[in-house]
Amino acid sequence: MSSGEANMTTTELVPLVEMRDIRVAFGGVHAVDGCTVDLYRGEVVGLVGGNGAGKSTLMRALSGAHPPDSGEIRIDGQPVSITNPRDAKTLAIETIYQTLALADNVDAPSNVFLGREVTTRLGSLDDSAMESATRTVMGRLNPNFTAFKTQVKSLSGGQRQAVAIARAVYFNAKILIMDEPTAALGPAETAQVRALIRQLKSEGIGIFLVSHDIHDVFDLADRISVMYHGQIVGTVNKDEVTIDQVLGMIILGKRPEEVTQKELAKLHG
């Protein structure tokens, strides 16, 4: 917890992640148009914006799912090149997607270890090692989880999200990207995931939280970066703004001090 608070004041520290002037274009559409964001250890940075603002595309540049056209990414101050998800994982960057992206027809341990399977000396899959490791990490995340041998397609949304998070936690993620982590979940499961995010944050993990849900973001984030039409409108400390001000940034694409009274009136209809 103390490390999380320390980061709020010691901005002279090297950020865990710096993304500078990132650009991603799809044909002629500039989905991400010169964005700069950063993230410190033990910090949650909320990334908000309307549909198509470029939040997910910006995060895909960091997770390796869609490399940027230009711009620089630094991890712990070192410039890195991330061209595919495996590069990101070697840098301890893990991603949890809104679509609960799991391989439906295989079981939880196989999903946790997918792409990084544990093998025996003969090179065959070590199922029992993977299962016991999954049991250990799941015991920490969600002690009620017992479905280690069933295909994940028959699990509930919360259980599936737990599998996705277990994957990130097991491999000692330093940087976690959560793309709408609660979008597909019910209220109880949402609360569970929120508690989990706080726990991970207190362990010193830096988290980018992409969300539509402004309350989620206000509840969890230390700083909030607002995106509008592929650009960063601004990054604000959560404690210094109101929900309405952030909503104004999302909808109008302007910082609170730039918003005129007329626009404000229109916004409140």
| Burial degree of 139 (CB within 10 A; 0-12, 13-18, 19+) | exposed
**According to the binding rule CB under 8 A, does residue 124 interact with other proteins?**
yes
Residue 209 token pair: 């939280």
**According to the binding rule CB under 8 A, does residue 140 interact with other proteins?**
no
User: Least Å distance between CB 151 and other proteins?
Assistant: 9
* Amino acid in the structure at residue 12: E
Residue with tokens 């104004």: 248
**According to the binding rule CB under 8 A, does residue 125 interact with other proteins?**
yes
Residues 56-85 touching other proteins, rule: CB under 8 A, are 63, 65, 85
Nearer to other proteins, 29 or 103 (CB): 103
**According to the binding rule CB under 8 A, does residue 27 interact with other proteins?**
no
User: Least Å distance between CB 243 and other proteins?
Assistant: 32
| CA–CA gap between residue 166 and residue 139 (Å, rounded) | 10
User: Least Å distance between CB 72 and other proteins?
Assistant: 23
Nearer to other proteins, 33 or 126 (CB): 126
The correct pick among 1, 77, 86, 191 for binding other proteins (CB under 8 A) is 86
| CA–CA gap between residue 105 and residue 240 (Å, rounded) | 47
Q: What is the dihedral of CA 127, 131, 133, 135, to 10 degrees?
A: 180
Residues 164-183 touching other proteins, rule: CB under 8 A, are 167
Contact of 134 with 112, CB cutoff 8 Å: yes
Kindly state the number of chain residues that form the binding site for other proteins, as judged by CB under 8 A.
27
User: Least Å distance between CB 139 and other proteins?
Assistant: 9
What's the Rg (C-alpha) of the chain? 19
Stretch that binds other proteins, among 6-14, 48-56, 104-112, 256-264 (CB under 8 A): 104-112
Residue with tokens 């997918």: 114
Contact of 180 with 210, CB cutoff 8 Å: yes
Q: In what helix (H) or strand (E) does residue 224 lie, and over which residues does it extend?
A: strand 223-228
**Site for other proteins, rule CB under 8 A:** 63, 65, 85-86, 89, 95, 97, 101-106, 110-111, 114-117, 119, 123-125, 143, 146, 149, 167
